[in-house]
Structure 1
Amino acid sequence: MEERRVDGGINQVTQVGQTIRRTVGPWSASVHELLKYLEARGFAGAPRFLGVDQDGREILSLVPGDTPWPPGPMSGVLESAAALLRRYHDVVEGWRPAAGAWQLAPVAVGEPEVICHNDVAPWNLIARDGSVVAFVDWDTAAPGPRMWDLAYLAYTLVPLAAPENLQAMGWPSPTAVCERLARIRDAYGCTQEQWDTLLDTIPVRVRAAYDTMRIWASEDRPGWQAQWEQPEPWRHGAGYLRDLTYIETYLDNWKATLKSRS
Structure 2
Amino acid sequence: MGDTVRKPSTDASPFVAELLNLLEATGFQGAPRYAGQAEGFDIFTFVEGHVPARFQAWSDGQVLAASGLLRQMHDATGVSTLAGRFEVVCHHDPGPNNYVLQGDMPNALIDFAVAAPGAGWMMSRIWPGRGASRRRSAFRSVGKRRRSGSSLIHTASWRSSVMP
Question: Is the structural similarity TM-score above 0.5?
Answer: yes
The one-character-per-residue Cα deviations of 1:204-258 (angstroms, maximum 9, x if unpaired) are 727xxxxxxxxxxxxxxxxxxxxxxxxxxxxxxxxxxxxxxxxxxxx9xxx9xxx
Alignment of 1:2-151 (within 5 A): 16-53=1-38, 55-70=39-54, 74-75=58-59, 76-97=61-82, 112-150=86-124
1:59 counterpart letter in structure 2: I
Give how far 1:37 is off. Answer: 1.0
Distance 2:124 2:32 in 1: 20
Distance 2:147 2:161 in 1: 21
The one-character-per-residue Cα deviations of 1:103-154 (angstroms, maximum 9, x if unpaired) are xxxxxxxx72100010111000011122111000001010110134449x63
Distance 2:54 2:12 in 1: 29
Give how far 1:19 is off. Answer: 0.9
> Where in structure 1 do 4 or more consecutive aligned residues deviate above 2 Å?
70-76, 147-151, 173-181
User: CA 1:72–1:205 in structure 2 vs 1: closer, same or farther (change >3 Å)?
Assistant: closer
Instruction: From the two aligned structures, give the one with the greater helix fraction.
Output: 1
Distance 1:86 1:62 in 2: 22
TM-score normalised to structure 2 length: 0.75
Residue in 1 that maps onto 2:132 = none
Q: Which of 149, 152, 155 is matched with 1:179 structurally?
A: 152
Alignment of 1:191-230 (within 5 A): 205=161
1:39 counterpart letter in structure 2: E
Give how far 1:180 is off. Answer: 3.0
Q: Which protein, 1 or 2, shows the higher relative CO under an 8 Å CA cutoff with sep ≥ 6?
A: 2
Distance 2:52 2:15 in 1: 28
| Contact kept in structure 2, 1:35 and 1:48, CA below 8 Å | yes
SS of 1:60's partner is strand
CA-based RMSD: 3.1
Distance 2:23 2:161 in 1: 26
| Contact kept in structure 1, 2:86 and 2:118, CA below 8 Å | yes
* Residue correspondences, number: 147
1:35 counterpart letter in structure 2: L
Distance 1:117 1:73 in 2: 21
Unmatched tracts of structure 2, length 5 or more? 126-136
2:115 counterpart letter in structure 1: A
Instruction: From the two aligned structures, give the one with the greater strand fraction.
Output: 2
Distance 1:149 1:116 in 2: 9
TM-score normalised to structure 1 length: 0.49
Greater Cα radius of gyration, structure 1 or 2:
1
Unmatched tracts of structure 1, length 5 or more? 1-15, 101-110, 167-172, 182-201, 207-250, 256-262
